[in-house]
Structure formats: C-alpha cells, structure tokens
Structure 1
Amino acid sequence: MDVTRIETDKAPAPAGHYAQATIANGFVFVSGQLPVVVGQGPRSDLSFEDQARLAIGNMLAILAEAGCGPERIARVTAYIVGVENWPRFNAIYAEMMGDARPARTVVPAPELHHGCLVEVDAIGLLPG
C-alpha cells in the first residue's frame, strides 16, 4: 500500500514534521487544523465562531484538494476549548457541512496550541 501526501496552498502549510493530509487505501486522513490564515499564522485573537469557521474551512480545503467533498467525509474529530462553546461549534459545523453528517466526536480541551480555541481533523473516502 502506498501513502500519498496532499498539499494545497489553500490551507496552512504544516508547521511541523507532518503532512496536511495523506491518502492510503482509498482514505484521506487530514491532520489537525487550527484556525490559521494562510500567510498570517494562527488567529487566536478571533472570536470562537470565526476560529471554528477557519479551522473547518482549512479541513475542507485540504479534503477538496484530495478530491473529497463534505459528502465523502466519514469521520471528524473536533477539539474545543470550553464545553460551553459546544452549541456554537455545532451550529457553525452544521452550516459549513450542509447535508453531510459524518461520524463526529467533540472533545472539550483545557487548551490548544497557540492559544487557539478549535482544532479539527477528518477522515474522508476518495470517490470511486
């Protein structure tokens, strides 16, 4: 089985020793995405809602580069700072995912890297 790396300039470049995503055995594995603006870096200064939109948008951009739209996402894991943000995350997630309803886990966390409030990763299935 081969592993292929996915790279797109529509999402932040990895800041460490990892790929934005990899493809293996017909699945797309997206690394954790923080609310980072390409060319600017992490945006922990933004509201929770804007951070959620950025992180989910980065995840979707990477999946799109691999040829995988929201309807092909099998699993999403979200880490959020503050369980009280769960309803706000859920509303933004539903807005951005549309009719797609992959399996999902939301994990409240005490803190995330760079002081960010949201991080998401995903597993998608390639078409065909």
Structure 2
Amino acid sequence: MKPITVAENARAIGPYSAAAKANGFLFTAGQMPVGRDGKIVPGGVEAQTRQIFENVRNILATQRIDLSAVVKTTVFVADLEEYAAINAIYAEEMGAHKPARSTVQVARLPMDARVEIEFVAQCG
C-alpha cells in the first residue's frame, strides 16, 4: 500500500491518508467538502458536493487519471431529502460515466458536513 497526499487539498482531519494505492486501484478516504483552508465550504449541499469533486480530481491527478477511472463510489448524506440536489451535481460531474454506487444516510458527518463521498478508481 502506498499512501497518497495532495498539496492542493487540505490535510486530513485525522490519522489517515487522503488516498492509498494498492493492487492497481486507488482508494480515497471519504472526501469532505473542505477547501484548502480545511473548513467546510459555505453554500449548502450543492457547494459541498462540488468541492468534493474538486478535491477528488486533485487526488486522481496524482496518478494521471480522471473521473473516468472511477469504478465505485459511496455517498454518505446527512439528510436524504438532499439526495436530489447531490445526485444532480454527481450526474453533471460524472457525465456519461456511471460507476457502481451506494448511498447511505448517516446520523452525522465530521465537521457537520452535509455530504461525504468515497471513491475507488482503477489506476493500473
């Protein structure tokens, strides 16, 4: 396993790596909607979802891959009432690419985020 860090993203908020590469796959930690300052971005669930995709693109770029390499995501939401808003941005970001996905409502997310997403990508 090779841990991955990304200078463009905020540091992890705990004792873990932003991502790890193993056996041809890149596994991200749950991507939080934080900017470079380490704070949750303002603007609600839509802004938070967009920030997550910006953060994951930075991680994928370290391996010279993009969202088309993603094979699985797990979406954690604080409120399933916001599912449609998250889904609309997810669909826009992923385009025609449709990896496997799970979505789970959770009682609470770190830093009181509205959404968190894990990604698994094939990186050869």
Query: If the length of structure 2 is used for normalisation, what is the TM-score?
Result: 0.92
What's the counterpart of residue 112 of structure 2? Answer: 115
Greater CA drift, 6-15 or 20-29? 6-15
Q: Provide the C-alpha distance between the structure 2 equivalents of 1:79 and 1:21, rounded to a whole number of angstroms.
A: 17
Question: What pairs up with 1:42-121 in 2 under 5 angstroms?
Answer: 42-43=40-41, 45-121=42-118
Contact 1:6 1:66 in 2 (8 A): no
Q: Where do 5+ consecutive residues of structure 1 fail to align?
A: none
Offset of residue 10 of structure 1: 1.9
Q: Provide the C-alpha distance between the structure 2 equivalents of 1:35 and 1:22, rounded to a whole number of angstroms.
A: 19
Offset of residue 60 of structure 1: 2.3
More strand by share: 1
Letter in 2 for 1:4: K
Contact 2:32 2:52 in 1 (8 A): yes
- CA RMSD for the aligned pairs? 1.3
Contact 2:40 2:48 in 1 (8 A): no
Q: 1:45-90: per-residue Cα shift (whole Å, max 9, x none)? A: 4311001111222122212212221111010001011111111111
Q: Where do 5+ consecutive residues of structure 2 fail to align?
A: none
Corresponding position: 1:124 with 2:121: yes
